[in-house]
Each structure stands twice: as C-alpha cells, then as structure tokens.
A and B are shown apart, each in its own frame.
Chain A
C-alpha cells in the first residue's frame, strides 16, 4: 500500500515512516546536472582561457551540454509525487529551501548556454539560410530547414568582420559568466544534500565542493567518450567515402582525435585527483572525529556498502581508470575503457551518497535496504526503476543527435 515498500526493506529498529524516499531518479539528478556542469566547464577551457588544442572538443561539449541541460530537470519531475504541480516552485518559491532556487538557477544557466550557442553558430545559421534562400525548387524539408535557420538567426544577418569579432567577444563573456553559474548549479545540488542536518552521512560543508569536482570529472569524461564514439563513426564514414575531396581522410580524423584526447585526459586526471582527495578527506575526518553517528556510519561504509563504496566506486571507478590514463602510450580503446569506468565511478558516488545516506535509520539502530525495481509493472515502477533511469540516460544522446542537425559540431568551415 505504501509505494516505497516496493523497493525498501527494513532491518532492526527503524521508525515506521522511514523508507528510501529518494530513489534512483534522485541518483540520476545530481549525475545529470554534474554532466551538464562538467561539459560546460570543458567547453569554457577553450573559449575562456584560449586553450587552442581544445577548440574542436569545446564546440562539441557546448552543444552536448545544452542537450544534457534539457534533460537535467527530468529526473526531478519524474520523482515528484505531484509532477503536475512542478511549476509551483516558480510561482511561490520559498527561498529558505535549497530546492526553491532550482528553477531560477537552471533558467539563468540555460539562457547563458543558449546565448553562447547562438553566438557560436550565428555565422553558420546566417550562411545556411542564405544558401537555402538562393536555391530554386526547395522541397518541403528544405523549406522547413530554411524557416528554422531564418528564425534562429533572430534577424541578425550581419556577417561583417566587425560583427563576427563582436560574436567572439560575446562568447568569451558568456563562457566566463557560465563557469561560476555552472559550478553554482551543481554545487547547489550538493548543498541540497549537504544541508540536511537530519542525515548524518549527507551533512558536511564539503558536499558542494565534492559535487563540483566530481561533476567536472564526469562531464569531461562523457564529452571525451561521446567525442571518441562520434569520431570513430566518422572514421567509418570516411573510409567509405575515400577519395572524396570534401571529406577529411581517416588519418586526419585519427590525428585530431588522439591530439584532443591526450590534452583532455590531462585535465581529467587533474580533476580526478582533486575529487578523490576531497572524498577521502571527508571519510578520514568522519572517522577521526567519530561523533555519535560514526558507529552506524562505520557499519554502513565499511560493512553494508563496502562493495559499493570501496570496490565499485574507489577501486573500479577511480583507481583503475587513473592507472589506465597514466600508463604511457595511451590508445583510443584504453582511453575509452578508462572513461566508461570514470563515468561509472561518478555514478556510484551519487548512488552511495543518495541511497547510502538513506540506508541507515534515524534511530541509528537499524538499516534500510534498497532494491531497484528492474521489470516495470506499472508507471511507478517504470519511472522509479531501471528503465526510468535508462530513459533519462539515453535522452541527452537523442537530443544531441537532433541538435547536431541544426548546430553541426564537426566540419564547420569557420567558427569562433
């Protein structure tokens, strides 16, 4: 009769109303916002600090960040018991709540990413609409394309040197403003957990910082991963189109790919070290100070959740990819494996925070166990189960594919 009974079992003394209320979708929520923030930070490394080797992946990350951004609020929506009332957060925001500002922060961030995207692609949009306008006998699809491009230019069709220079300047400013907002968006997700004084595992001021660092790690890793996959697809296409003047050769693609990966991997390792150090600091500090809650936390961390925390998160998700990336003469398959493991590690970190934080009772004398619903029986077990999470996970790629039709990430003749 109680919904949460589907996935919660209780052991020893647990208050009657305690269940795992925040389940898989709340694991997905910080995971997705983390990817958004990370992807944006990666793109800003080029636009803001002018790290030239990252030019190719920077454009890619920005478009991908926008795709992720559109999915980021979905897990929260899925999780709400009254999803139709979601906009009440904007109607009557109660600002003492850490969740209240979510709509505002997300909106500000979305506007920044959208405008940066627009400035970055303005030239392409104008040129495409002009090209289509000059074509005779446009098909219906062509007409729709023409309309889309023309509307997206917002009437700003000036392509003079001065206008393009202004575009570049705007991108730089937006990238600069975006980094703190991206960090805020995700640090804020950390604050939602870190400020819950009733939860002994969550409550630490380090939580927002830990979240930001792991966010950058996961965002960079996902961008690299998707970049490699799309480059491999392009390599296959290039092999088929061998001899075509318009298309880059297999060797050209491989060259660009390896170069971008080597540089980005360095940033990934840097953020990974930061992220692990903070998490270990938190763990050591809790053990050393050993306040009242430590007894039960120790049982959870070193007992019940040992495999999840130490084997899956720290060893498989952090240590192994760290070593894989550090061994010299890095190859694409090895990078790919390391990236998948890094993403898995960050996902497990979110899992261990959200589910781990609810796996012990407020009585400090009992435990709760989470059983992820696998096969959906109804709408509730779909959205709070494996398939709901997979749906959220796949959405950004679908959106990225769709966005790529209007904002092509590769083979732009000229772009800032």
Chain B
C-alpha cells in the first residue's frame, strides 16, 4: 500500500467511525427516553410535623417487599430526647415500623431507660431516608457498576448484577444501605422510583398523615417543594462528607446524628 492509498483509507475509516459514534448516540435508549422537561427528584422532610407514628416505615416495607419483621429498612424514624442536664438520648426501635408506642428509650442489648417527663427539655422525631446524593459514594465504590445514578438523580441497584460485596454499605455515611434479607443483594431507598415514574407519590409520602414527607422536582421553579427549599431555611444531613445530599430538612438540629 502506498502512502496516498493509506491516507485515503485512514480518512475513510475515521469518517466512518465518527458517523457510527453519532448514530450510536442517537440510538442510545437514554436519549430516546429522556424526559422532555428537566427533572431532578428531591425530598423535603419537615421534622416539626413528624408525629412518630411509623406509617411511613410500614408503607415502605410493604410497598418495596422488604420483609416486615426483618430488622432492616429503606427508611426509618428516629426519636431524640434532650434532658435538662444536657444529655442526648436517641433511638429507633425496630426502625419505628410499629411507631413509637413506648416512652422507654431503647438502649440496645435489651436494655431500656425511662426518662421522667419533668427532666425532658425537648423531644422530637426525625424521619430518615436515602439522600439520593448528587455525588453518591456508594456508586463510586461499586466494583461492578451494579449501582448507578439515574438521569433524574435517584440512585438505584441492579439486583441482577450486584455481587454482594458490601462495599457500598461501608461507603454510605448515612447507613442507608443493607443486604436484602431474601434477595441477598444491596438494597436501598429509591424514592419509590417505580411509583414516581408513573407520577405517583412514594409510599412513605402517601402514608404520612402529617405531611412531614414531601417529594419534588428541584428543576421546576413552580414546584411547591422547590419553592420551600429556595425560600426557607433548610439544611442537609452530614454535609461534611461532600456527598451533596438531596434530602432537605426543616428543623434539623445539631443533636441529630
């Protein structure tokens, strides 16, 4: 092959490659399914409204088929009790799947503590769920790419591809992940992705009788949740980990772990 024909062939080859790349781009499923309006799911938790009934946990477990009696959950509710002498007590008995029905604080290992009413300074509930981080460490550490962030910002797990190494569980600073007791793969809150795709509310949002949990689209300025996040004072959980969480809290005090 002389130089001229070699150059010709190379030119044709690279033109074909560029063209193929372009076609591949057009044919990508993501580009076909791309939603017409910008969408980024966020969550708003108003801790002032939470009454600790645990309906959210119950609804979540049933909706997402996490065995009800198993001591793991995609979402849970924490109770904080601050006493007059400055002590902080916190618990989440059985993820609060049956609500907070006892005054006794769960200290683990079967021990409980009764704090007399008059010694309590303040007490409140904090619902927790996956923060659907903008920079999710769980996605970063997955060795096989079985967990990924969708275009709408929700992090999902591919149950057919997860090898169950547990690295994502170790990497999450919020303790959101666990192994599904029956499927033996990583499990996490998805904002009920299967529901929100159909314009339904997540199970926990639907079940909350007090309106403490709300979901919204941060890219839509007309969205009521977006308007609250933009105009009121909200905070995020553990910003020091640099994960950029997308669950916003109202009334998240510094005692909250």
Contacts and interface: CB of A to CB of B under 8 A. Distances in A.
B163 A82 contact: yes
Interface string A165-208: 00000000000000000000000000010001111000000000
Contacts of A79: 165-166
Contact of A2 (B70, B164, B185): B70
B241 A197 contact: yes
A81 to B, nearest CB: 2
Contact of B143 (A10, A15, A100): A100
Interface of B: 67, 69-73, 76, 88-92, 94-95, 107-109, 128, 137, 139-146, 161-167, 169-179, 181, 184-185, 240-242, 257
26 contacts: A1-B70, A2-B72, A10-B108, A15-B76, A16-B92, A22-B170, A79-B165, A80-B164, A81-B164, A81-B165, A81-B179, A82-B164, A85-B162, A96-B140, A97-B142, A97-B167, A100-B143, A192-B167, A197-B241, A197-B242, A198-B171, A198-B173, A198-B241, A362-B257, A363-B175, A365-B257
Given A81-B166, A197-B241, A362 B173 contact: yes
A22 B166 contact: yes
A123 B69 CA distance: 65
Contacts, number: 148
B90 A13 contact: yes
A3 interface: yes
A115 interface: no
A12 B108 contact: yes
A83 B180 CA distance: 16
A21 B91 contact: no
Contacts of A3: 179, 181
- Consensus secondary structure, chain B interface: loop
Contacts of B163: 80-82, 85-86, 88-89
Given A13-B92, A96-B139, A97-B141, 18 more contacts: A3-B181, A12-B108, A13-B108, A16-B94, A17-B169, A17-B176, A79-B166, A80-B165, A81-B184, A89-B143, A93-B144, A94-B142, A94-B144, A97-B167, A197-B173, A197-B242, A363-B90, A365-B88
Contacts of A364: 257
Interface in A70-113: 76, 79-82, 85-86, 88-89, 91-94, 96-100, 102
B67 A1 contact: yes
A98 B72 CA distance: 27
Interface residues of A, number: 49
A15 to B, nearest CB: 3
A97 B142 CA distance: 6
A230 interface: no
Given A15-B175, A21-B179, A197-B241, A100 B73 contact: no
Contacts of A299: none
Given A1-B71, A93-B143, A365 B185 contact: no
A295 interface: no
A362 B137 CA distance: 15
Contacts of B72: 2, 16-17
Contacts of B164: 80-82, 85
A326 B178 CA distance: 48
B116 to A, nearest CB: 20
Interface string A1-37: 1111100011111111111011000000000000000
